Amino acid sequence: MPIDKRYPGTVVIKGIGTLVSGDYRKGILDADSIIVKNGYITHIGKEKDLDFSSADHVIDVDGQVVCPGFIDAHVHNTNDDYGPQTQTVNWMECYLWYGITTILSEGEQGPGYPRFFDDPIGAKATAIFCKRVFDNFRPGGFLKFHGGAVVLQKGMTEADFKEMADAGVWLVAEIGGGGAYLPEDVLDMVGWAKKYGFKISTHIGPSSIPGSAPVFADIALAHAPHKFAHINGGSIAAPWSEIQRILDESDPSSYFEYVAVGNQKMADRITQYVLKKDQGHRIMFGSDTPTGQGALPNGIQRMVMRMAAFNDVPPPQAIAMGTGNTADLFGLNTGKIEVGREADILAIDVGQDAVGKDALEAMTMDDTFGVSMVMVDGQVVSLKGRDGRPTRRFISIDGKKMFIDNINEYLFGPYFPGYLH
């Protein structure tokens, strides 16, 4: 969904210490270089085998880990970069700087929004409006935000879903998070949504706010969603017996979403159960922010780290849970280091003076890794997260080492419109 097409031409990324694919099955790629042209990955391989002669820019990552940009599959946004409950301004931009390059809405909400007021016309209009807004707005100038997740309301018809699909809407917000949720009220709508290509999510667990609903195994399985949202609780988990039924009886093509603000003990229990079934490719992450839970710019990274540190998931597979698995569910052309994919790429490293040789080893110790490069569509958009951990190593662009050591710029800004010109 490129909006600003000022691509920096052909960009080479070389000096890669470990290249994490974002593909759960592939893990690490046997390569040390990537070539990006006009925002897309065109070549992956060894520097000795690739031709860099046409490069407009060369980025040397100095042995750091390179991986896809992270994807946050669960936020509750308004129609701009503002979280009204916590009065958080530019939270999406902050997520981008930390390396979350794509976000998906789980249903827009704000003061007076129609999702809570049994208003099918308003809910439909909100979804179409927010889809159009984010078709034309990239927070921070570059972040890819998929907005316009419709909240199901009694009285919606098949014609409503066709109209929304024709307008580009393709997400159904977590059923039970607001609006209609009982099977007798929503199953026809779920069928129409699937007919027109929508991806469907179901809220799992007790009610979380006024207007939401308790959704446990019977209702969730009846919905047959593509994603079981915050299966570890949003923020309170369902009983294990209910979760276990979902894990055992759900369609094998569906996904289990953990959220960073959920029950971590339950997340660990679910993980061990799912891994024993060899279904780690079904695990994915969201933050369930910023409304009510506050902004969490490194929420997906924290989930990735917990998987490696506390569940002994190999770091490349843990990263895939926050990148490629999510891309697979939603059919996104990002989330993996693969020829033909959008070049949304990170360079990450162990923190300065920290233990460990690289970001992957840091993950196994639950040490926060830092980001020294955030790339979106082939453009370098940040060298660090706001108040993120300084990295041991830095990237070089066209022979010039790039880093920020001024405390004011490091902690508080400013916003850079792209480093490659």
Res 33 pLDDT > 70:
yes
Amino acid at 309: A
Q: Are residues 213 and 278 in the same domain?
A: yes
Q: Are residues 269 and 405 in the same domain?
A: no
Res 30 pLDDT > 70:
yes
Residue 36 bridge partners (DSSP):
11, 41
| Cα–Cα distance measured from residue 94 to residue 143, given in angstroms and rounded to the nearest whole number | 10
Q: Are residues 279 and 221 in the same domain?
A: yes
**Predicted pLDDT of residue 86:** 86
Is residue 207 a part of any domain in this protein?
A: yes
Q: Are residues 170 and 246 in the same domain?
A: yes
Q: Are residues 125 and 274 in the same domain?
A: yes
Q: Are residues 199 and 289 in the same domain?
A: yes
Q: Are residues 41 and 81 in the same domain?
A: no
| Cα–Cα distance measured from residue 144 to residue 93, given in angstroms and rounded to the nearest whole number | 11
CATH of the domain at 17: 2.30.40.10
Q: Is the model more confident about 409 or about 283?
A: 283
Res 4 pLDDT > 70:
no
Is residue 1 a part of any domain in this protein?
A: no
Q: Are residues 107 and 210 in the same domain?
A: yes
Is residue 312 a part of any domain in this protein?
A: no
Share the mean pLDDT of the chain: 94
Which residue matches tokens 């958080």?
Answer: 88
CATH of the domain at 213: 3.20.20.140
In the structure, what pLDDT confidence band is assigned to residue 210 with cuts at 50, 70 and 90?
A: confident
Helix (H, G, I), strand (E, B) or coil at 283: strand
| Cα–Cα distance measured from residue 57 to residue 64, given in angstroms and rounded to the nearest whole number | 18
In the structure, what pLDDT confidence band is assigned to residue 2 with cuts at 50, 70 and 90?
A: very low
Average confidence (pLDDT) over 192-197: 98
Q: Are residues 351 and 372 in the same domain?
A: yes
% of residues, the chain, pLDDT over 90: 83
Is residue 241 a part of any domain in this protein?
A: yes
In tens, the pLDDT along 123-179 reads 999 999 999 999 999 999 999 999 999 999 999 999 999 999 999 999 999 999 989
Domain that holds residue 32: 10-68+336-412
Residue 397 bridge partners (DSSP):
59, 400
Tell which of 243, 268, 297 closes a domain.
297
Structure tokens at 246: 């979902």
Structure tokens at 361: 């080893």
Q: Are residues 34 and 57 in the same domain?
A: yes
CA atoms within a 13 Å half-sphere pointing along the CA-CB vector of 134: 26
Neighbours of 287 (CB within 10 A): 29
Q: How many domains does the chain have?
A: 2
Q: Is the model more confident about 196 or about 417?
A: 196
In tens, the pLDDT along 95-130 reads 999 999 999 999 998 888 887 778 999 999 999 999
Residues 6+ apart with CB under 8 A from 255: 226, 227, 228, 282, 283, 284, 325, 326, 329
In tens, the pLDDT along 251-306 reads 999 999 999 999 999 999 999 999 999 999 999 999 999 977 888 999 999 999 99
> How many residues are recorded in the chain?
421
Is residue 317 a part of any domain in this protein?
A: no
Res 384 pLDDT > 50:
yes
Structure tokens at 394: 């830095």
Q: Are residues 14 and 117 in the same domain?
A: no
Query: Is the CB of residue 136 less than 8 Å from the CB of residue 172?
Result: no
Which of 46-55, 63-72, 289-298 has the least mean pLDDT? 289-298
Three-state helix/strand/coil letters over 131-165: HHHHHCCCHHHCCEEECCEECCCCCCCHHHHHHHH
Helix (H, G, I), strand (E, B) or coil at 418: coil
